Each structure stands twice: as C-alpha cells, then as structure tokens.
Amino acid sequence: MGIVNVTPDSFSDGGEFLDAEQAIAHGRELAADGADILDVGGESTRPGAEGVDVETELARVVPVVEALTGSSGPGAPVSIDTSKAAVAAAALDAGAEIVNDVTALRADSEMAALCADRGCRLVLMHMLGTPRTMQEDPRYEDVVDDVKAFLAERIESATSAGVAEERIWVDPGIGFGKTVEHNLELHRRLGELGELGRPIVFGSSRKGFIGKLTGVPPDKRLGGSIASTVIAYANGAEVLRVHDVGPMREALTVADAILTPERTPLRSPTADPGASW
Ligand code: HH2
C-alpha cells in the first residue's frame, strides 16, 4: 500500500504533494514501483495535528482519487484515508474501493452505515486517544492484548452495523498512542492479532520510533522502515503501508523468497556482473 499524502503537514512528506498534479504523479510513480493499493489522504494524523474541515479535505482528495482510478488510472485500487463519512462517500463515488479509517468508525456516526451500504473494504485501526493527545504518556495493561480487544470490539461494532466481516482488515496503529517499547512489542507479537481472523494492515514507514532508535529524520528512515516492515510481514502482516514502494517491494520480495520459496519466481537481473554468485 503506497502512501499518497495530499497534505501540507504530514510528518514525513508534508507539502511535497499538496498540489493535485504532484500527488497524482506521485501515485502513478508508486504504482509503477509496484504498489498494489494507493492510499490517498487529505488530513494529517501526526501527533499534535489539528483536523481539517470537510470542504478542504474533499478539495484535496477527490481530484486525486478521480485521476488515479478508472481507465486513466494506473490500475492499483485506491483506498481513502479518512475518518469523515462525507469524504469517504465522495472518494467512493470517484472510484475508491477501500475506506481506511484510523478512528475505526468512532469519529463519524455515519461511517459504519456508509461502508455497510457501499460494500467497500474497510480498515479498522487502533488508536489510543486522538492525534492531538495520543502521545502524551500512553499506557496499557498489555499493549498487544489491549489492541487485540479493541479491534475485536470494533469488528463487532462494524458487523452489527451491517459491514460484512470478510470486508474488514485490522491495523495495530503503529505510533498512534504508543511508546517505542509498545511499538516494538506489537512487532514481536503481531501474530497474536492473527487470532482476530482478519488480514493485518501495518504502517510503520518513517515513523517516530524509528527516529528514536536511529537518530535520523523522517526522510532518512528507509533502512529502519525496511527492517520494521519485513519483520511485520514475517510475523503475519499482509498489507504494508509504506512511503518508499520500490525499495520496500524489493525487500519484501527477498523476504518472501526466504519465507515461502514456492511463491517466488526468479527474474533475470539487469546488468549484474555478480549474477553467478
Ligand atoms: N498511519 C498514518 C496515516 N494513516 N492508516 C493506517 N491504516 N495505518 C497507519 O499506520 C497509518 C494510517 C500516518 O502516516 P502518514 O500518512 O505518513 O502521515 P500523516 O498522518 O502525518 O499524513
């Protein structure tokens, strides 16, 4: 899942793709690099972020979703990263197929019915508190058990509102109300979320815990993001939400070959003097 942020203030690429043309070009590039899904978002959820109003978010995302879907799009399904039902509805109308709601249907009382009605895929993510406050001393009894119980309750809430269970994906919400140790524990014990019986989405790309471990700024966190994403994949994540699709795809292809050899066909490397190694 390649990230297309149409925002002025996202933590790692804020402002880079605010202009619709730039965001569309970026989405096409991510698809060409091998993204299977493009996740378009018009509101930053970084720690401390203020929300944006619905008109602003609509104006940012709808032209981008329109251009990246349909016959002129690059062919990867689009997900809309929003917690507002009006934005999700407009994005679905424009061609999006997945709703990625970081509040897991808690922010907008219309969201569950919309997703049930449209039959779209739905990502339910764990977050402790709100983006404005979530990093102020987050505490858990046991982070993995608590995240799992939360997601089980949100699945129940979504299905009782009419969302088909097989359309739901779950996400532990790396960085959303978690200390470095909470994030690391979620990597180590990610397999326990498999007991929810739904595909796991995992988004650690360039996030703060990598900076705290390595001391490097967001645009230099590729190495740390690869380590985190590969371990999440090895521990059961099926959808990896990332900024750097090309290098991540290569890392996951190699990881996949090690973990499941029968699934990986060999390719001929271009210009590789070391190919016979
Ligand atoms: N993380 C961010 C946004 N949306 N959605 C899911 N399902 N999982 C995540 O971990 C997740 C998400 C935050 O990252 P980013 O979009 O790069 O930054 P910002 O919120 O500042 O735009």
pLDDT tens, position by position, 173-196: 999 999 999 999 999 999 999 999
Lowest mean per-residue pLDDT among 58-72, 82-96, 122-136, 193-207: 122-136
* Residue of the CA atom closest to atom 10 of ligand 1: 203
Band of residue 273 on the pLDDT scale cut at 50, 70, 90: low
Per-residue pLDDT, averaged over 134-155, amounts to 95
Q: Which residues of 139-159 are buried (b: 16+ CB within 10 A; e: fewer)?
A: eeeebbeebbebbbebbeebb
Tell me the pLDDT of the chain averaged across its residues. 94
pLDDT digits (tens, 9 = 90+) for 125-141: 999 988 888 888 899 99
Contacts of 129 (CB under 8 A, 6+ apart): 136, 138, 177
> What is the pLDDT at residue 274?
62
CA of 274 to the centre of ligand 1 (A): 38
Ligand 1 mutation pick, 46, 206, 248, max ligand atoms within 8 A of CB: 46
Rounded Cα–Cα distance for residues 139 and 86 (Å):
33
Q: Dihedrals φ, ψ of 18, to 5°? A: -65, -35
> What is the pLDDT at residue 129?
83
Active-site residue identified among 207, 221, 249, 267: 207
Is residue 212 part of the annotated active site? The answer reads no
- Pick 208 or 133 by higher pLDDT: 208
Active-site residue identified among 241, 249, 263, 267: 241
* Residue of the CA atom closest to atom 18 of ligand 1: 10
Lowest mean per-residue pLDDT among 31-45, 205-219, 250-264: 250-264
